[in-house]
């Protein structure tokens, strides 16, 4: 810094009254800061002023106190905007004082202007460190809340005790639905949580998946997401709800179901997904005369599945496949000739129909095994 400024800087550094002026300016500009004890602001202002003046006299800029100021205000619940208002008000006041005193000391305006520009750049860097200190404190607090929330959820859903449940917003006497999603990517889970928490629940990571407890089912879980919702249960039975949801999620994923799905609506998928080996043997046994490499055979099985999925209605099946109803009828007859399965028999028992559907679905996915030994 140029020689004419040295006496001015020394005078400012030794002026205790200047610190009080800056504190008053900061508190006046930010009601949030004004609610704190005055000594809280004075402590930071004194250190920041000393560090700033030292930097102007050739010292190395030290922004550590600026980061601590941001972190302290975050912990005290002062909004970041309020913190910056206070810092900028103090900056304006110190410039006003410096200009008045500099002119009184005969320092040329061009020297004061150059110093003011340098000071403004310094304060800009200082503000950046205040904000970063504030954000880092927020991130640390969020990590702490997230870790505590996840610990409580894991304890409840994995069968342990969770005496801290009230601390994360769960009431001991209430009933909650367990929700388990097929989301394992941490970034995606973090992005989904605000949407899910809108239903009043608590969500976190359990066994690598996004899961939670909520008083009501979420309305939406996002595109291409499978969210399985259990029945309302007391917290002491949360682990039971979690096991149900996990089994149902396996079934939902196995059969490519997406959206928000209730456990009760996934009963069939859950049961079938629990016996993949049996499904493979069933498909191999009932469809042994079909060749997966034959395009026509694949067409027959796909038509049969569509027919069963559309309530054995020729018109609906034909519309879904974009073919004529007679084409559907021909394919079903051709399939019956090759397999003997009563696909188009409206009088077939429910369990027979279920076996047919399961065999077709497993065969279509290429997961059939050899026929069972006699």
Q: Which of 121-125, 260-264, 290-294 has the lowest mean pLDDT?
A: 121-125
**Six token digits for residue 111:** 């020297």
* 138-to-32, 43, 71, 75 alpha-carbon distances in Å: 17, 22, 8, 8
Given a cut of 80, is residue 196 above it in pLDDT? Answer: yes
Assign 327 to helix, strand or coil: helix
pLDDT (tens digit per residue) in 100-126:
888 888 888 888 888 878 877 877 888
- The secondary structure element, H or E, covering residue 360 is helix 350-364
Given a cut of 60, is residue 1 above it in pLDDT? Answer: no
| Domain spans, the chain | 3-139, 176-273, 276-364
Report the distance separating Cα 74 and Cα 300, nearest Å. 66
- Residue 371: per-residue pLDDT: 47
* 284-to-125, 292, 349 alpha-carbon distances in Å: 71, 11, 21
Half-sphere exposure of 26 (CA within 13 A, CB side): 29
- Residue 57: per-residue pLDDT: 64
pLDDT (tens digit per residue) in 169-195:
788 888 999 999 999 888 888 888 888
Phi, psi angle pair for 42, to nearest 5°? -60, -40
**Six token digits for residue 361:** 């679905």
Report the distance separating Cα 81 and Cα 308, nearest Å. 61
* 53-to-9, 88, 94, 115, 228 alpha-carbon distances in Å: 6, 16, 11, 11, 61
pLDDT (tens digit per residue) in 200-254:
888 888 888 899 999 999 888 888 899 999 999 998 899 999 999 999 999 999 8
Phi, psi angle pair for 198, to nearest 5°? -65, -20
What is the mean predicted confidence (pLDDT) over 23-38? 85
Query: For residues 172 and 187, is the Cβ–Cβ distance under 8 A?
Result: no
- Residue 3: per-residue pLDDT: 56
Report the distance separating Cα 101 and Cα 244, nearest Å. 76
Architecture of the domain whose range is 3-139: Orthogonal Bundle (1.10)
User: DSSP 3-state helix, strand, coil percentages of the chain (rounded to 5)?
Assistant: 65, 10, 25
**Six token digits for residue 229:** 């919702």
Pairing between β-strand 259-262 and β-strand 226-234 as defined by DSSP bridges: parallel
- Residue 182: per-residue pLDDT: 92
pLDDT (tens digit per residue) in 38-65:
877 787 777 777 777 776 666 667 778 7
DSSP letters spanning 141-210: HHHHHHHHHHHHHHHHHTT---TTGGGGT--TTSEEEEEEES---HHHHHHHHHHHHTTT-EEEEETTEE
* 285-to-1, 26, 340 alpha-carbon distances in Å: 91, 82, 12
User: For the chain, what's the residue count?
Assistant: 374
């Amino acid at each position: 810094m140029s020689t004419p400024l040295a006496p001015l800087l020394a005078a400012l550094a030794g002026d205790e009254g200047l610190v009080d002026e800056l504190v008053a300016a900061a508190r006046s500009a930010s009601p949030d800061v004004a609610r704190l004890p005055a000594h809280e602001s004075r402590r930071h202002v004194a250190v920041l002023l000393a560090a700033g003046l030292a930097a102007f006299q050739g010292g190395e800029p030290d922004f550590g106190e600026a980061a601590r100021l941001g972190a302290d205000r975050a912990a005290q619940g002062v909004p970041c905007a309020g913190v910056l208002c206070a810092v900028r008000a103090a900056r304006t006041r110190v410039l006003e004082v410096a200009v008045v005193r500099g002119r009184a000391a005969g320092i040329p305006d061009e020297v004061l202007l150059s110093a003011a520009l340098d000071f403004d750049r310094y304060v800009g860097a200082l503000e950046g460190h205040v904000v970063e200190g504030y954000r880092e404190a927020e991130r640390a607090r969020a990590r702490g809340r997230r870790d505590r929330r996840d610990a409580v959820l894991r304890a409840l859903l994995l069968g342990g005790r969770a005496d801290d449940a009230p601390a994360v917003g769960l009431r001991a006497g209430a009933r909650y639905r367990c929700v388990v999603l097929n989301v394992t990517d941490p970034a995606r889970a973090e992005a989904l949580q605000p949407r899910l928490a809108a239903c009043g629940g608590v969500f976190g990571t359990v066994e690598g998946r996004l899961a939670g407890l909520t008083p009501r089912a979420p309305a939406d879980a996002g595109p291409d997401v499978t969210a399985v919702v259990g029945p309302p249960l007391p917290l002491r039975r949360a682990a039971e709800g979690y096991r149900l949801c996990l089994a149902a999620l396996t079934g939902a994923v196995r059969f490519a179901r997406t959206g928000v799905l209730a456990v009760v609506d996934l009963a069939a998928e859950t049961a079938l997904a629990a016996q993949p080996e049996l499904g493979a043997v069933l498909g191999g046994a009932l469809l042994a005369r079909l060749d997966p490499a034959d395009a026509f055979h694949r067409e027959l099985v796909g038509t049969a599945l569509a027919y069963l999925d559309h309530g054995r209605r020729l018109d609906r099946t034909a519309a879904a496949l974009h073919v004529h109803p007679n084409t559907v009828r021909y394919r079903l007859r051709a399939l019956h000739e090759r397999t003997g399965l009563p696909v188009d028999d409206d009088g077939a028992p429910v369990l027979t129909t279920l076996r047919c559907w399961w065999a077709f679905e497993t065969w279509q996915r290429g997961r059939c095994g050899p026929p069972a030994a006699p």
